[in-house]
Structure 1
Amino acid sequence: MRRLADALAAMRGGATAPMARGVLLAGVVAATAAFLSESYGAPVMLFALLIGMSLHQLADQPACAEGVVFASQSLLRWGVALMGLRLGLDDVAQLGWAPALATGALTLATLGAGVALSYLFGRRLSFGLLSGGAVAVCGASAALAIASVLPPRKDREADTLLVITGVTLLSTVAMVAYPMLFRALGFGPTETAFLIGATIHDVAQVAGAGHSVSPEVGVLATFVKMLRVALLPLVLVIAALAVRSGGGASMRPPWFLLVFAALAALANTGLVPGWVVAQGAALSQGCLLAAIAALGLRTNLARILEVDARYVAMLVILTLVLLGLALGFAAATEF
């Protein structure tokens, strides 16, 4: 919040601080994406991502980098937290308990698959926990958290960077491809929301993919994703115990998950005026759009191509395992 205040103060004073420049750049990309989406009817999140990627070199400059990072991380978290105002109990009831329980099972199964594939690819247990946990829970954030509870090794930083780069790339591809895939397979809005939330790695791409279908699907998909994020402390404990590490990461749930749940509970009491919910929804959408734009700005395609193809293949297999399990559950279950 202090950084946001500094950025706003700089903009009011006419300064061109790095924080303000980066945030403004993400905002301009987001506004451009919104205009093009309204003009041509294409998904606004996709426009924001593609325009951002085309301007990566500009965002990589020191004058903008800090603000772009802030937009891709802090604005994303606030956007997700504010989505709690739009989550109704009717939506959760429509989803049902079975998909919620299946989400946990899918997460643990993917973590186990990561360990098995790690040995198959000639790597250690630690790399399996790192890659499996990143795919199973919440992408880059999970990778960083899991890396902090693993024993220190000289190649740990390189492995973490590899996993973060791989899951970010795969998550970006999934954000574009999965909504079209689920539509082609004939899944309805509720099934699509479950599948998006249960299979895409990063929170930002889940929100982007869900909102590319409809705002309602976006909210429900984010709820399913929050169920996966809530399992991060459990995954950290499993990883720490598996490698007998003392653990350096916090085992507490992320703050934006707690705010999301609190706002959802408050909104469903009926005490929150409709205009507050509407303004919160608009602010949430704006934060998410700016975050997706900033994510595109931070995406360096040349650097992604340098990743070791063998371990990218492992992450692809893990992604397909999670997708296949989720599709099988959705096809066999009546929502």
Structure 2
Amino acid sequence: MTQQDIRISLPHRFTGFMEQTRALVPGIMVAVIVAITAKFLSEHYDTPAMLLALLLGIAVSFLSEDDKAKVGIGFSAKTLLRLGVALLGVRISFGLMMGLGIELIALVVVSVLLTIGFGLSIARFLGHKWRFAFLTAGSVAICGASAAMAISAILPKDERSEERLIFTVMGVTVLSTIAMVAYPILVNYMGMNELAGGLFLGGTIHDVAQVVGAGFSISEETGDTATLVKLFRVAMLAPIVLFASLIIRRFHETTDEDGKRPPLLPSFVLGFLVLATLNSFGLIPAFVAETLSGWSRWFLLIAIAAVGMKSNLKQVLSVGGAAIALIILETLFIGGIILVGILYLT
């Protein structure tokens, strides 16, 4: 390519970029407005922002049918979601995780793996297949809505993939909210000390924000332990997704509805691993990590709003009582495993 060709192509590329940007802006701005509204209501009415963003998004789902907003809403639901999950890596420090001790780490790892196995085992009796079982069990076992979105990216797509994702996000968020209120009462009733209480809360509640709220409502020590245990569960997201990708590609030759196979390791999960590794070696300054963590929360909130706007509430609710029973049973199962572990270790 000559210098003249380069000079000619650059303006065309810039023009194309600007046209793409203009096409994305309306939909992104709609999702941002819904996310900001959800955050405002969350802070004033003590309700999880994720749940509010999803419900508000569903309430204005007609906007996703508008030609001007459709492209940007789709971008927010997919690309911003993946950026949000990737940036979760800055919260992870493997050195800090090891401070839990081998026994507690083993308990958390076992509880996560057994919960996923439990979900896969009982789903067939409730009329659901492995994709929905892995989606719900992985979300319950690891980190709620964020895990649901990461796992959804590696599952072969079909016409009901989005409905299953929305139901799972809604289910784990509602259950986390209930647990945030009920579990601290249970911890006090059972007379757990700070370590046991933090382990129970961090090892059983689905979403990070609700873990923090529940833990620090008891004491600072309980809150610190609960947060640390929860972050260890978050750190398991990448290896679980990688291992599941290998299994899916080996035993299930299913392709997406567009004929493509799910990725072995999505780029955003790789980004999660890179950021977690850099943070573990102290290569990310504290203020940068805090900034990126804040961006992660906002990207995920905007993405959830966009996912809600792309949904059909009637179809989401059509998953039925068996799906609700499945996610509740998985939640009770991981709670039972952690309780048994606490009784054994203390």
Identity across aligned pairs (percent)? 24
Q: 1:31 to 1:103 in 2, by over 3 A?
A: same
Contact 2:58 2:312 in 1 (8 A): yes
Q: Which residue of 2 aligns with 1:224?
A: 233
Q: Which residue of 2 aligns with 1:131?
A: 132
Alignment partner of 1:65 out of 54, 64, 70: 70
Q: Does 1:287 align with 2:299?
A: yes
CA distance in 1, matches of 2:91, 2:155: 31
Task: Quote how far apart the aligned CAs of 1:288 are.
Answer: 2.5
Q: Name the aligned partner's letter for residue 234 of structure 1.
A: F
Structure 2 counterparts to residues 9-158 of structure 1, below 5 A = 9=18, 15=22, 17=23, 19-39=24-44, 42-89=47-94, 91-121=96-126, 128-137=129-138, 138-139=147-148, 142=151, 145-147=154-156, 157=158
Q: 1:302 to 1:326 in 2, by over 3 A?
A: farther
Structure-1-length-normalised TM-score: 0.69
Task: Quote how far apart the aligned CAs of 1:280 are.
Answer: 1.9
Contact 1:49 1:293 in 2 (8 A): yes
Alignment partner of 1:235 out of 236, 244, 262: 244
User: Which runs of 5 or more structure 2 residues have no equivalent in the other structure?
Assistant: 1-13, 139-146, 188-195, 217-222, 256-260
Task: Quote how far apart the aligned CAs of 1:165 are.
Answer: 5.4
Deviations along 1:60-119, one digit per CA (max 9) or x if unpaired, are 544333322322332222223223223344641344444544454344434443454355
Structure 2 counterparts to residues 258-269 of structure 1, below 5 A = 258-269=270-281
1:134 alignment partner, SS class: helix
Contact 1:29 1:290 in 2 (8 A): yes
Q: Name the aligned partner's letter for residue 170 of structure 1.
A: G
Q: 1:223 to 1:195 in 2, by over 3 A?
A: same
Q: 1:50 to 1:195 in 2, by over 3 A?
A: same
Contact 2:64 2:310 in 1 (8 A): yes
Q: Name the aligned partner's letter for residue 244 of structure 2.
A: V
Deviations along 1:312-334, one digit per CA (max 9) or x if unpaired, are 54454344434433454456556
Q: Does 1:297 align with 2:297?
A: no
2:236 alignment partner, SS class: helix
Q: Which residue of 1 aligns with 2:201?
A: 192
Q: Does 1:182 align with 2:183?
A: yes
1:294 alignment partner, SS class: helix
CA distance in 2, matches of 1:308, 1:63: 34
Q: 1:106 to 1:88 in 2, by over 3 A?
A: closer
- How many residues matched? 304
CA distance in 1, matches of 2:342, 2:179: 14
Q: Name the aligned partner's letter for residue 268 of structure 2.
A: F
Q: Name the aligned partner's letter for residue 83 of structure 1.
A: L
Contact 1:140 1:164 in 2 (8 A): yes
Q: Name the aligned partner's letter for residue 195 of structure 1.
A: T
Q: 1:315 to 1:175 in 2, by over 3 A?
A: closer
Deviations along 1:210-260, one digit per CA (max 9) or x if unpaired, are 57668987786355134144223433544566xx54565457333223222
Q: Name the aligned partner's letter for residue 177 of structure 2.
A: V
Task: Quote how far apart the aligned CAs of 1:27 are.
Answer: 0.9
Q: Name the aligned partner's letter for residue 70 of structure 1.
A: F
Q: 1:77 to 1:193 in 2, by over 3 A?
A: farther
Contact 1:111 1:133 in 2 (8 A): yes
Contact 1:30 1:293 in 2 (8 A): yes
Structure 2 counterparts to residues 266-281 of structure 1, below 5 A = 266-281=278-293
Q: Name the aligned partner's letter for residue 48 of structure 1.
A: A
Q: Which residue of 2 aligns with 1:252?
A: 264
Task: Quote how far apart the aligned CAs of 1:311 are.
Answer: 5.1
Q: 1:251 to 1:99 in 2, by over 3 A?
A: farther
Contact 1:210 1:218 in 2 (8 A): yes
Deviations along 1:7-41, one digit per CA (max 9) or x if unpaired, are 994698xx4x3x22221111112222333445556
| Greater displacement, 217-226 / 285-294 | 217-226
